[in-house]
Structure 1
Amino acid sequence: MTALAGLRVLDASTVVMGPYATRLLADLGAEVLKVEPPEGDVLRRAGQGGAMFAHLNRGKRGVVLDLKSPEGQAALRGLAAEADVLVHNMRPDAAARLGLRRQDLAEANPRLIVACAYGYGAGGPYAARPAYDDLIQAAGGLAATIGAARGGDPAYVPLTLADRVVGAHLAFAVMAALACRERTGIAQEVEVPMFETFADLVAGDHLGGLSFDPPEGGPHYARLMSPQRRPYRTADGWIAVLLYTDAHWRRFFALVGREAELAEDSRLATHAARQAHIDHAYGRVAEALLERGTAAWMACLSDADIPVAPVNDIPGLLDDPHLAATGFWRRVEMPDGRVLRSPAPLGRWSGTPPAEPGPPPPLDPAAPALWSQPAGRP
């Protein structure tokens, strides 16, 4: 028994955001049926060997439908009639053409939750525009904030960050709508737009003094904007250290034999002073860390209960001893015979642990447009 056993999720989304949300649900036991066009989700052809597609769609079943045809549209609506949740990332006009709004499906399935994930919220001037992760990082203020922090041009995070953050919000919205349905009997359509969701994320850290009307200062959280907030060089490599509390600062300066400096330098003496002179404070840390090697720092900082972490590259994650000890990496047999190394499902569950991750679905035009398990009451 898994947490979401019996939940039927019809996934008509593509690329990253929607599939990430539905993978989170599949990881916890929902039956997720992924709908693909005859040529397949475009992500099947992205990256090395379709790795992103495999990670985002593991544990799902698949069905191939041509939604440009009346037959494909009818099959999709038939599946929705027996689903708990329909997730799609079609813009409102496309969803209306295909009859995938809740108002189109409610007569056949009054309990259906429809979760719509797209770029910009309905009613605004951007509503009809296409959106992708890069565009939302830019429009949402992150690219400019990174540029300002680095003292250079706007830049993107090399990660589909907006897609995944908004995808997690989408999964949360689906679960909230299901909880509401179970408590009240109300089934509804939920819109989770990328721009608004991601703008909230960025503004939460960086609206700063502009949060108030009238403003009480400019934007940005100074500590996060410091060019010294970065992994630090050691005598032989790199390390991540965060001195946050007064106790952390005292213990660190004691370790490096600079207790007097911490007491005598007014820019370091208190939390408020360090925040006001964060570049200087972090600069002193960076200078001290050059004096020893990474392994020595990892040992002595850990012993002193000072927050410290290694600077892993991507291959390093596969060999990380903590991830190995917690069983983070799972081996998933792929339909084509390859083995996928994929992260474990979310968290630890005392009563309804997730099953082992299953493979992503093959692109099989002959796969039946049917649910495989009887519906439950999640």
Structure 2
Amino acid sequence: MNFEPLKGVRVLDLTSVVVGPVCTWRLGQYGAEIVKIESPEGDLMRGLGGLSPTGQHSGAYLHFNRGKRNICLDLKKEGAGQVIERLIASADVIVANMRPQALERLGLDAATVRAKHPDKVYCLITGYGTDGPYAGRPTYDSVVQAATGMAGLMLARDGEPAYVPMLICDHVAGEIAAGAILAAIVERRASGSGCSIEVPMFETMATFVLQEHLAQHSFDPPVGPPGDLRLLSPHNKPVKTADGWISFTINTNPQVRAFLKATDRQQLLDDPRFTNVAARARHVAEWFEVRGAPLTSRTTAEWLDVLRAADIAVQPCHTLETLPHDPHLEAVGLIGFEQHPTEGRTAAIRSSIRFEGAYPPRRSPAQPRGANTCELLREIGYEDDAIEALLSAGAAQAASST
């Protein structure tokens, strides 16, 4: 069966780069029709996301924009504003991640849109919200990682700050926004009323950090230093083997005993520092020095067999080269291949969520800029001569003319 709870919902996608496209991609996984509005300059991620055969669709752009129809509009040109207004009228949900000031200048902010269309769900994804001292400032994922203390966690652990080498804040905030939109759609179906949603990346990711690492400072007065000292241990890293690295976690008392036996450390079985959860919490530095020590007496494959036999959660530490070939991912078919209209044979990553025993079908490949301009204009009431006038004036562009 096709599980498409959002079938019939049209989402107008006024987003670019990562955080917004991730949000709308997720809504598309649930069956929503996504209409992506792109400027003649194009989404920055078309080139910023890496090299591609034609220079039009980076790998990242392909994956974040799957299943979306594309209309290319130049909002500086006469006539484009009327097109946007018709598209808004035809949509159920509007998602934007432009700066609030830019949206206000264009008349595309939540207040303006919902004054005309109170039944619309409008979601603004921002760096810092609209009501604090940072409101309206530009930001990117790495800046948010620093501002929220994520990079500072690396400073506490490793002695210098560092970024997580993926756009983790964009992904998380995008998924949070998709969840908020789903909640608003449920309410809209019950009441008929729309909703204005605001998802600030800074507060969202700061909340994640503080929920874990406020820790002992959650109490007044504090009962210890801030931070989960297990996660901040310099030994909290993959462990070296004879030919690579493995990653494992041991939390319960039976797991700890099994680990000590499997790694020939029976002399520590009755060590009072490690016999129970409370003792290991009091002696967290010493415990993580034990569990983080190199295991170079055996290969990765050998350690995987030993630790799995002891029912310990363990996996190899993959690289970007090895991850696509993980036997589990290959068996469940996470990555497939398809023929893209301009890029040739390309990887296609399916949804990781299964409904009623089946994964949602892979939606159409990411489209060239303006691929659906003419058909979308027809759908919102433009006749062929009016479409030709918009194309000639540069207010709209179609793929064949870009």
TM range (shorter): over 0.9
1:270 equivalent in alignment to 2:276? yes
124, 128, 132: which one pairs with 1:120? 128
Q: CA deviation at 1:28?
A: 2.3
Query: In 2 relative to 1, CA 161–192 (structure 1 residues): closer, same or farther, beyond 3 Å?
Result: same
Q: Which of 288, 295, 301 is the matching residue for 2:301?
A: 295
Identity of aligned residues (%): 39
Query: For residues 58-77 of structure 1, what are the structure 2 equivalents within 5 Å?
Result: 58-77=66-85
Q: Select the residue among 364, 367, 374 that pairs with 2:370.
A: 364
CA contact (8 A) 1:29 1:355 kept: no
Match of 1:13 among 11, 15, 18: 15
How far is 1:169 from its partner?
0.5
- Counterpart secondary structure, 1:315: coil
The change in CA–CA distance for 1:249 and 1:29 in structure 2 (over 3 A counts) is same
Q: Which amino acid aligns with 1:145?
A: L
Does the residue aligned with 1:220 lie in a helix, a strand or coil? coil
**Pairing 1:260–2:263 present:** no
**2:249 paired residue number:** 242
- What is the correspondence of 1:55-94 to structure 2 with a 5 Å cutoff? 55-94=63-102
- In the alignment, the residues of structure 2 paired with residue 214 and residue 18 of structure 1 have an alpha-carbon distance, to the nearest angstrom, of 40
Q: Does 1:39 align with 2:41?
A: yes
CA contact (8 A) 2:70 2:372 kept: no
For residue 394 of structure 2, what is the aligned residue in structure 1? none
Q: CA deviation at 1:76?
A: 1.4
Tell which deviates more after alignment, 228-237 or 63-72.
63-72
Normalised TM-score (structure 2): 0.87
Structure 1 residue 365 displacement after superposition:
7.0
Q: Is 1:229 the equivalent of 2:231?
A: no
1:280 to partner: Cα distance: 2.0
Q: 1:69 to 1:287 in 2, by over 3 A?
A: same
Counterpart code for 2:19: M
SS state of the match for residue 90, structure 1? coil
Change (3 A) 1:299 1:37: same
In structure 2, relative to structure 1, the CA distance for the partners of 1:157 and 1:130 (3 Å cut) is: same
Q: More displaced, 8-17 or 84-93?
A: 84-93
Whole-angstrom CA distance in 2 between matches of 1:206 and 1:373: 51
Q: 1:373 to 1:283 in 2, by over 3 A?
A: farther
RMSD of the TM alignment (CA)?
Answer: 2.0
Tell me how far apart the structure 1 counterparts of residues 343 and 162 of structure 2 sit (CA, whole Å). Answer: 39
Q: Aligned partners of 1:362 and 1:71: how far apart in 2?
A: 22
From 186, 194, 202, the equivalent of 1:179 is 186
Q: 1:102-130: per-residue Cα shift (whole Å, max 9, x none)?
A: 33233653321110011111111110211
Asked whether the 8 Å contact 2:240–2:294 carries over to 1, the reply is: no
Mapped to 2, the partners of 1:145 and 1:172 lie a distance apart of: 27
Query: In structure 1, what residue type is equivalent to 2:86?
Result: G
Deviation string, structure 1 residues 341-375 (Cα, Å, up to 9, x no partner): 1321131111775122320011137722628999x
Q: CA deviation at 1:297?
A: 0.9
Greater alpha carbon shift after TM alignment, 165-174 vs 90-99: 90-99
Of residues 146, 150, 159 in structure 1, which corresponds to 2:154? 146
Structure 1 residues 287 and 62, CA, compared in 2 at 3 Å: closer, same or farther? same
Structure 1 position 283, deviation (Å): 2.3
Mapped contact 2:123–2:197 kept (Cα < 8 A)? yes
Match for residue 340 of structure 1? Answer: 346
Q: Deviations over 1:60-105 (max 9, x none)?
A: 1100011223422221121011101000012222222212233323
Equivalent position SS for 1:219:
coil
Distance 1:186 1:101 in 2: 18
Look up the match of 2:164.
157
**For 2:36 and 2:301, how far apart are their aligned partners in 1?**
46
CA gap 1:371/1:243 in 2 versus in 1, 3 angstroms: farther
- Aligned in 2, Cα 1:255/1:280: closer, same or farther, shift over 3 Å? same
Question: Which residue identity does 2:337 align to in structure 1?
Answer: R
Shift of 1:147: 1.2
- Structure 1 range deviating more: 210-219 or 51-60: 210-219
Contact 1:8 1:30 in 2 (8 A): yes
Answer yes or no: is the 8 Å Cα contact 2:243–2:299 preserved in 1.
Answer: yes
Q: How many residues align?
A: 372
SS of the residue 2:71 aligns to: strand
Whole-angstrom distance in 1 between the partners of 2:60 and 2:216: 39
Q: CA separation of 1:322/1:352 partners in 2, compared to 1, >3 Å: closer, same or farther?
A: closer
CA 1:234–1:149 in structure 2 vs 1: closer, same or farther (change >3 Å)? same
Question: More deviation in 70-79 or 347-356?
Answer: 347-356
Cα distance in 2, alignment partners of residues 6 and 105 from structure 1? 21
SS at match of 1:149: helix
Query: Alpha carbons of 1:352 and 1:251: their partners in 2 closer, same or farther (altered >3 Å)?
Result: closer
The letter of the residue matching 1:48 is L
Q: How far, CA to CA, are the matches of 2:276 and 2:379 in structure 1?
A: 61
The code of the aligned residue for 1:329 comes to I
TM-score (norm 1): 0.93
Give per-residue Cα distances to partners, 1:249-272, cap 9 Å, x unaligned.
111122233333221x22212212
Alignment match of 1:99 (pick from 94, 104, 107): 107
Give 5+ residue unaligned stretches, structure 2. Answer: 53-57, 381-402
